[in-house]
Amino acid sequence: MTESLSQIFIGTLLANNFVLAMFLGLCPFLGVSARLNTALPMGAATTFVMVVASLCAFGLNWLVSAFNLEFLRLISYIVIIASAVQLVEMVLKKYSPVLFRALGIYLPLITTNCAVLGVALFQTAREYSFTQALTFATAGGLGFTLALLLMAGLRERLRLATVPNVVQGTALSLMLAGLLSLAFMGFAGLGAGE
Amino acid sequence: MAIPGQKQRSNVEELLEGIWKQNPVFVMVLGMCPVLAVSVSAVNALSMGLATTFVLVASTLLVSALRNVIPKEVRIATYILIIATFVTVVDYLIQAISLAVYDALGAFIQLIVVNCIILGRAEAHASKNPPLKSVINALGMGAGFTIGLLALGSVREILGAGKLFGIALFGPEFQPWVVMVLPPGGFFVLGAWLLLFNWLNIRKAKPAAIQSAEARA
Amino acid sequence: MSEAASLQPATPSAAMIRTLGIVATVCGILIVTAYQGTLEPVAANKKLALERAVFKVIPGASSVREFVAGSGGIEPAGAVVPQGAVKFYAAYDAVGALKGVAAEGAAKGYADTVRVLYAYDTAKQAITGLGVVSMRETPGIGDKIITDAAFLKNFVALDATLAADMKSLAHAIKTVKHGSKQNAWEIDAIAGATVTSKAVGKGINESAQKLLPLLVPHLDKLQGGK
């Protein structure tokens, strides 16, 4: 079966949202979602790294398959992602200090974001072509940003509300995430049809 | 080998740290991605817990054994290499033991690599402690993680499918609470567990404060 | 793996590269050992899983062989499926007579891709069985495609005759609204799970349209499987 690009895009962005349906990238989702103004740069940085990782993984997978070295796939993915993140950090620092100041502190965090490795692993498992993989990574990153922004907006509001002591902290965030996830389930079936 | 300025802890304390005081799921809320994703049934939760424990213990052992020869600058790269190796090993082991489990866990076996618990343990504990101590600590952490997963998995399976470990608990009349095995259910059940722990902590806070005051006296 | 080393600040480079090299070697040995050690059990497991799935859609079969059907005819399947070819499984009974053919189809369902395995009876020229390989459909709604007896009745003899020119099916297999099935090539959808039912129909149709024109002219090659 060949999935069309729009199907992949909408499916990954909404119906199979990385955070709310696939449970990828929960650490930053719970950790960096307290304020709107940090959520956006974090989302942007993650999207960028995801696209870079997806490109690297696509090339690597071709290389690894060509030499029949499938057992090295995981280890090479993680090494290339970690290196790519550091490389991006260094390039940004040298050529675009403004962007670096905005995204810099989030970059090291992203190496251990499972959404990034998830993109690489899922695109391999689903045997996506180059353009499909690129669409998948972009939509995944945008979906992550969307979830992060929604969550941050909700949590900013909640700070003004009186909440019982017992519910404070992560428990509250998780309940919120559950409600968001429930809402996102409404998107299921989008793009299925004919 | 005791670190100066740090109190020597007994092996039992090391073991219990991960299971109770610093439970990765309920207290530290680390490595949530696999926890929520695979806890739709108790069997999946148990296999994931065991796989993670294996990687945790094996990589801790190696990191701890090599802790004096690894240069500081490349330690993270080395840890990631070691962890990725053991994840690959566990990936093949699970495939050899049961394909059904392998299919159920999907990409989340390979995603153990980026589970923050493992890298965190390597960096915070194994790189500073001798092998035996680190392994005991890792065992405790792994057990704590497995217990957390199992707590989540069994609640979700019981409510969402009316089963536990695949055995039907209620009669055919049971209407499963389907949302519990869907993604939102994961968030809700974990949230509810954390609520319970918060409540217990608040209840315990008072007597504990008195106790520690007595101990100091 | 050396690129990870080159990115670090270069204090004593030689020592760092040496350590990384040693660790990488140890890791490599571990991985290769695990890979070689599990190769056989994994292959055995995969074979068992495949047999179990195929025997379920083709009752009475006792052995399975993998083939690919391409423009050049039918060949035993290798590691990679050539461009434009379709992989399928031929099932044989205890004495080695062909019992049927099974192949996979996939289409986008409600939540994610639904992958199904269907059985094709070469004598009846019909789809005679349905199994699900993987899906993430809503439990209790979408997963009725495995449990709903009325739905499974569609796959007792679902017409899949080839058109006269042998290039496509005489009638495309399609899923129709619940209760409106009229022809042998239509699938009666499950009420309330139309999207998933449609995905099943679409997956089978796409796969059968591709596979059967390549397969049917060469059926004689599949006989005598043992």
Give A 15-74 residues with CB within 8 A of chain C: 15-16, 71-72
Q: Is there a single domain that holds both residue C34 and residue C80? A: no
Closest by alpha carbon to A193, among C134, C205, C110, C140?
C110
- What tokens appear for C89 in the block? 């499984």
**Nearest chain A Cα to B111, which residue?**
A114
Q: Which of C42, C80, C87, C108 has the most A C-beta neighbours within 10 Å, making it the best mutation to test the interface with A?
A: C108
Minimal CA separation from C112 to chain A, in Å: 8
- B29 and A170 within 8 Å at the Cβ level: the answer is yes
Model pLDDT, residue A108: 72
Mean pLDDT of C91-108: 84
> How many Cα neighbours within 13 Å face the side chain of C123?
5
Nearest beta carbon to residue B178 from set C38, C41, C140: C140
Mean pLDDT in residue range A85-93: 81
Contacts of C120 (CB under 8 A, 6+ apart): C100, C101, C102, C103, C126, C127, C128, C160, C208, C212
Residue B3 pLDDT greater than 70, yes or no: no
C29 CB-contact burial (10 Å; exposed 0-12 / middle 13-18 / buried 19+): exposed
> Looking at beta carbons, which residues of chain C come within 8 Å of B92?
34-35, 37-38, 42
Q: Quick check: is C51 in a domain?
A: no
List pLDDT tens digits, range C49-97. Answer: 888 888 888 887 888 888 888 777 777 777 677 777 788 888 888 887 8
pLDDT at B73: 76
Nearest to C168 by CA among C189, C188, C185: C185
Chain centroid to Cα B135, Å, comes to 14
Bridge pairing between strands C158-159 and C174-176: unpaired
The answer to whether residue B39 scores a pLDDT higher than 70 is yes
Chain A positions touching C203 (Cβ under 8 A) are 1
Evaluate if residue A155 carries a pLDDT over 80.
yes
| Burial readout B135-166 (b: 16 or more C-beta within 10 A, e: otherwise) | bbbbbbbbbbbbbbbbbbbbbbbbbbbbbbee
Q: Has residue C35 been placed in a domain?
A: yes
Amino acid at A56: C
Q: Of the candidates B96, A133, A151, which has an alpha carbon nearest to the alpha carbon of residue C35?
A: B96
Nearest CA to B15 out of B68, B53, B67 is that of: B53
Average pLDDT score over chain B: 84
Distance CA B133, CA A98 (A): 46
Whose tokens are 């057990």? That residue is B143
pLDDT of residue C3: 46
Number of domains in chain C: 2
Assign B40 a pLDDT band (cuts: 50, 70, 90).
confident
Q: Average the pLDDT over B188-212 and give the result.
A: 81
Mean pLDDT of B113-119: 84
pLDDT of the residue at B128: 86
**Start-to-end Cα distance in chain B:** 31
Question: Torsion-angle region of residue B118: left (phi > 0), alpha (psi -120 to 50) or beta?
Answer: alpha
C7 in contact with A, Cβ within 8 Å:
yes
Size of interface A-B (CB pairs under 8 A): 111
B70: which chain C residues are within 8 Å (Cβ-Cβ)? 19, 23
**pLDDT score of C181:** 80
Sequence-ordered list of residues with C-beta below 8 angstroms from that of B125, at least 6 positions apart, any chain: B60, B134, B137, B138
The whole-angstrom distance between B177's CA and the closest CA on chain C is 10
Are the Cβ atoms of B188 and A27 closer than 8 angstroms?
no
Query: What value does the mean pLDDT take over residues B83-110?
Result: 88
- Amino acid identity of residue B26, one-letter, is F
| pTM summary value | 0.83
Interface test with B, best of A24, A87, A112 (most B CBs within 10 A): A112
From A23, A78, A178, residue closest to B37, measured CB to CB: A23
Asked whether residue C155 is domain-assigned, the answer is: yes
> How many C-alpha atoms does B59 have within 13 Å on its Cβ side?
32
Q: What is the total count of domains within chain B?
A: 1
Q: Which domain holds residue B182?
A: 11-166+177-216
Residues C75 and C27 in one domain: no
Q: Which residue in chain C has the smallest CA separation from A86?
A: C7
Residue A170's nearest CA partner among B37, B180, B151, B190 is B190
Chain C, nearest residue to A68 by Cα: C79
When CB atoms are compared, the residue of A72, A79, A192 closest to C4 is: A79
Asked whether the beta carbons of residue C42 and residue B160 sit closer than 8 angstroms, the reply is: no
Nearest to B194 among A75, A78, A171 (CB): A171
| CA end-to-end span of chain A | 14
Residue, of C79 and A88, whose pLDDT is higher: A88
Beta carbons within 10 angstroms of residue C9's beta carbon: 7
- Strand-pairing partners, residue C107, are C114
Nearest-angstrom CA–CA distance, B137 and B53: 11
Mean pLDDT across chain C, nearest whole number? Answer: 80
Give the residue ranges of DSSP H helices in chain A.
5-10, 26-31, 36-66, 73-95, 97-103, 107-111, 114-125, 130-158, 170-185
Tokens 């395995």: give the residue.
Answer: C117
C53, part of any domain? no
Confidence label for C224 from pLDDT (cuts 50, 70 and 90): low
Domain boundaries, chain A: 5-183
For residue C50, tell me if it sits in a domain. no
Is C100 in the same domain as C198?
Answer: yes
In this complex, do A1 and C195 lie within 8 Å of one another by their Cβ atoms? no
Question: ∠ CA B164-B165-B166 to the nearest 5 degrees?
Answer: 85
Greatest distance between any 2 Cα atoms in chain B: 63
Indicate if the pLDDT at residue A1 is higher than 80.
no
pLDDT score, position B7: 55
Q: Is the pLDDT of residue A46 over 60?
A: yes
Neighbours of chain C (3+ CB pairs under 8 A): A, B
- Is C31 close to B100, i.e. CB distance below 8 A? no
pLDDT at residue B80 in the model: 86
C138–B178 CB contact, under 8 Å: yes
Confidence of residue C4 (pLDDT cuts 50, 70, 90): very low
Instruction: Say yes or no: C88 and C165 in one domain.
Output: yes
Q: What distance in Å separates residue C53's CA from the closest CA in chain A?
A: 20
The nearest CA of chain A is from the CA of B39 a distance in Å of 11
Query: What pLDDT is recorded for position B4?
Result: 47
Same domain, C121 and C217: yes
C21 φ, ψ (degrees, to nearest 5): -60, -45
Pairing of the two strands C98-108 and C126-134: unpaired
**Nearest CA distance, B46 vs chain A (angstrom):** 18
Helix (H, G, I), strand (E, B) or coil at B188: helix
Q: Is the pLDDT of residue B50 over 90?
A: yes
Long-range contacts of B202-206 (CB under 8 A, 24+ apart): B202/A165, B202/A166
Evaluate the CA torsion angle C17, C22, C25, C31 in order and state its sign.
negative
Q: Which of B34, B81, B187 sits opposite A178 (nearest CB)?
A: B187
Provide the token pair at A8: 């992949």
Q: Report pLDDT for B116.
A: 79
- The tens digit of pLDDT for each residue in C136-190 reads 777 777 778 888 888 888 888 888 888 777 777 888 888 888 888 888 888 888 8
| C144 within domain boundaries | yes
Q: How many CB atoms lie within 10 A of CB C193?
A: 24
Q: Is the pLDDT of residue C209 over 80?
A: yes
Q: Which two tokens stand for residue A53?
A: 């990782």
Are C19 and C106 in the same domain? no
Q: Do residues C38 and C133 share a domain?
A: no
Q: Could you tell me the residue range of the domain that residue C116 belongs to? A: 58-222
- Check whether residue C136 and residue C210 sit in a common domain: yes
- 3-state per-residue secondary structure call for C105-130: EEEECCCCEEEEEEEEECCCCEEEEE
CB-closest option in C26, C34, C138 to B92: C34
Selecting from A75, A83, A192 the residue whose C-beta is nearest the C-beta of C109 gives A192
Interface test with C, best of A5, A71, A87 (most C CBs within 10 A): A71
Per-residue pLDDT, B216: 62
Closest Cα in chain C, distance from residue A162 (Å): 36
Strand partners, B164: B167
Supply the pLDDT for residue C79. 67
pLDDT category of residue A80 using cuts at 50, 70 and 90: confident
Position B6 in a domain: no
If asked whether residues C16 and C100 sit together in one domain, one would say no
Residues C20 and C64 in one domain: no
Contact list in C for residue B69 (CB cut-off 8 A) is 19
User: Is C108 close to A7, i.e. CB distance below 8 A?
Assistant: yes
Q: Is B183 on the interface with A (CB under 8 A)?
A: yes
Q: Which two tokens stand for residue A149?
A: 């922004």
Q: What gap in Å lies between CA B6 and CA A173, rounded to an integer?
A: 35
Whether residues C138 and C210 share a domain: the answer is: yes
Which one of A16, A75, A191 has the shortest CB-CB distance to C31?
A: A75
- Please write the tens of the pLDDT for every residue from B161-170: 888 887 888 8
For residue C94, the distance in angstroms to the closest alpha carbon of chain A comes to 34
Q: Terminal CA-to-CA distance of chain C, rounded, Å?
A: 47
How many angstroms from the chain centroid is the CA of residue C211?
A: 12
Q: Which amino acid is at C106?
A: A
CA pseudo-torsion sign C188, C191, C194, C196: negative
Read off the pLDDT of residues C118-128 as tens digits, 9 standing for 90 and up.
888 888 888 88
Question: Hey, is the C-beta of A71 within 8 angstroms of any chain B C-beta?
Answer: yes
To the nearest whole Å, the CA of B75 is away from the closest chain C CA by 9
Which two structure tokens, joined as six digits, stand for B30?
């680390």
Residue B171 lies in a domain: no
CA distances, B73 to each of B57, B70, B120, C12, C13 (Å): 24, 8, 17, 10, 10
Query: What is the spatial distance between Cα A190 and Cα A70, in angstroms, rounded to a whole number?
Result: 34
CA A127 from centre of chain: 19
B204 contact partners, CB below 8 Å, separation of at least 6: none
Q: Does C6 touch chain B (CB under 8 A)?
A: no
Strand order in the sheet with C158-159: C73-76, C63-70, C86-92, C98-108, C113-121, C126-134, C158-159
Q: Please indicate, yes or no, whether residues C41 and C68 belong to a single structural domain of this protein.
A: no
Pull the structure tokens for residue B29: 């809320």
